[in-house]
Amino acid sequence: MTVLPCGVDEAGRGPLAGPVYAAAVILDPGRPIEGLADSKKLSARRREELALLIRERSLCWSIAAASVEEIDAINILQATLLAMRRAIDGLTPKPSLALIDGNRCPQLELPARAIVGGDASEPAISAASILAKTARDAEMLRIHEAYPHYGLDRHKGYDTAFHRAALFKYGPADFHRRSFAPVRLALERTP
């Protein structure tokens, strides 16, 4: 039996706003992709170029998310694991092994292995890292169009001085994570 591993990674655990995304990728050994790396080490332009190649050359890929409401209801760790499970469930063909970036695995019906730093050492996890990051960034840019005063195009929802200032000036919007301390504080202080 051929082992068909998928790489899995998330994007957006730390930000104060927006969903957390996860991607799962089964690479095609016959169609290698040069330059796969941890998405955080690549420029935005290079991530976009690689994301196109990953979508074209992989055996299959899937991107999923957990909403702000889910993050606030079950916490960011559980929401991340939920998004990962959804991404893996979206793969066809089904993988025989899941290689998960980090130190925890979601509950799955297939064997899984957590790999700390896997986004830098396992090409399939690198590919998942790139897809999750580009999908989340695109979502944050879409939200920015409707809410430009938060500057999401600049920081993608992360906790920056600019973002905090906007939170306190305008108050949190529906896409802010109310379970995160800076957002809670802004809610308490906003008239």
| Burial class for 96, CB neighbours closer than 10 Å (0-12, 13-18, 19+) | middle
The C-alpha atoms of residue 152 and residue 190 are separated, in whole angstroms, by 20
**Position 1 pLDDT exceeds 80:** no
Q: Are 66 and 83 in contact (CB under 8 A)?
A: yes
- pLDDT tens for each residue of 133-166: 999 999 999 999 999 999 999 999 999 999 999 9
Which sign, positive or negative, has the C-alpha torsion 51, 39, 59, 103? negative
Q: Give the CB-side neighbour count of residue 34, counting CA atoms within 13 A.
A: 0
* Closest residue by Cα to residue 98 from 122, 88, 118, 89: 88
- pLDDT tens for each residue of 28-67: 999 999 999 989 899 999 999 999 999 999 999 999 999 9
Q: How far does Cα 80 stand from its chain's mean position? A: 8
What band does 181 get if pLDDT is binned at 50, 70 and 90?
very high
pLDDT at site 5: 96
* Closest residue by Cα to residue 108 from 95, 119, 117: 95
Q: What SS3 class is residue 80?
A: helix
What band does 191 get if pLDDT is binned at 50, 70 and 90?
low
pLDDT at site 2: 72
Six-digit token string for 54: 């990953």
pLDDT at site 189: 83
pLDDT at site 190: 66
- pLDDT tens for each residue of 77-95: 999 999 999 999 999 999 9
Domains of the chain, start order: 5-147 (3.30.420.10)
* Residues sharing a CB contact under 8 Å with residue 95, sequence separation 6 or more, in sequence order: 4, 5, 6, 24, 26, 88, 110
pLDDT at site 3: 76
**Position 26 pLDDT exceeds 90:** yes
